[in-house]
Amino acid sequence: MFLNNLDYQVMIGQRAFDLIQQSDEENRRRAEEMAREEMAGYLRPRYDVERIFARRGEQRNMQIVMFLCDITLYHLASWLPQKMGYEVREIRYRRAIEWLQGVQSGKIVPDLDTPDDPNSDPQPYNLKWGSEQHSNYIW
């Protein structure tokens, strides 16, 4: 697994984490997979997500770890009664999504693995196509 319990301790206390995941490792694993796929949707056009998420320990990009924890905790916290602690999770989730949108648009360039395929364009979506509306000067 890409994430471990120590990664979550930076974000949330152990007792709160046990409550959020409903004391079931399977719930956490499913939420991590959902969060990973959500994150991969933003990263896939520019980066090799399989290599990014295959890394372990200190080889991982810590910003990816932090935002993946935030997204996972957001999904886990959504079931809590009266949305306990939901505001903090929602703020951190929105920040993670804004960062991913910045990476996707090319405004933010993290140190991540890019595809090795020499035929692939390393910077897709950099051209903007279109023109001004056609003018007709016949009166």
* Extents of the domains making up the chain: 5-105
Quick one: pLDDT at residue 115? 82
Instruction: Please write the tens of the pLDDT for every residue from 41-95.
Output: 999 988 999 999 999 989 999 999 999 999 998 888 887 777 667 788 889 999 9
Instruction: Please write the tens of the pLDDT for every residue from 49-63.
Output: 999 999 998 999 999
Tokens of 134: 């056609």
Quick one: pLDDT at residue 64? 95
Tokens of 58: 């200190």
Could you give phi then psi for residue 84, rounded to 5 degrees? -60, 125
Tokens of 3: 């994430």
Tokens of 106: 């090319």
